[in-house]
Amino acid sequence: MLEIRPNCECCDKDLSPAATDAMICTYECTFCADCVKNVLSNVCPNCGGGFTPRPIRPAIEHRKGLSICHQPPSQKRVLTKFSKEELKALADPLKSLRPEER
C-alpha cells in the first residue's frame, strides 16, 4: 500500500493526500510536478527511473474498510540528501532516455 508521503523530497512543498501535482517513482520517491519537470528532468534522483502521477486514495468509503480514513497517509517528511547540482549531474545523462530505456 502506498505511503502517500506529505511533501516534495526536493523543495519540501506540502503535498496533500489529494494533491494532483504529486509524482512518484516505482519506489514511492515523492516529488511535486514542478521539481520533476524543472529540476529532475523526469529522472528520479534515487533510482534513475521516471515518474508517474501519484494515485489519490478515496476519501469516501465505497467498500468497507477502504478509504483514507482506514489507511491514513504518512506524516513522515522525506527530503533528498543530494544537492541540486548532484541531482542535475544524475539527470543530465539520463533525461534523453525514456524511463523504460534506463
In a domain, 71, yes or no: yes
Flag whether 66 is in a domain.
yes
Instruction: Output the CA–CA distances (angstroms, integers) from residue 19 to 30, 47, 65, in the order listed.
Output: 12, 23, 22
Domain annotation covers residue 3: no
Q: Provide the domain limits for residue 55.
A: 22-95
Distance from C-alpha of 67 to C-alpha of 57, rounded to nearest angstrom: 6
Whole-number pLDDT of residue 84: 87
> What pTM was computed for the model?
0.89
Confidence of residue 97 (pLDDT cuts 50, 70, 90): very high
47-94 pLDDT, tens per residue? Answer: 999 999 999 999 999 999 999 999 999 999 999 999 989 998 999 999
Question: Structurally, how many domains does the chain consist of?
Answer: 1
DSSP annotation string for 60-82: S-SBTTBSTTTSPPP------SS
User: What are the tens digits of pLDDT across the range 4-47?
Assistant: 999 999 999 999 999 999 999 999 999 999 999 999 999 999 99
Determine, yes or no, domain membership for 9: no
| 40: in domain | yes
Q: Which residue has the cell 501535482?
A: 21
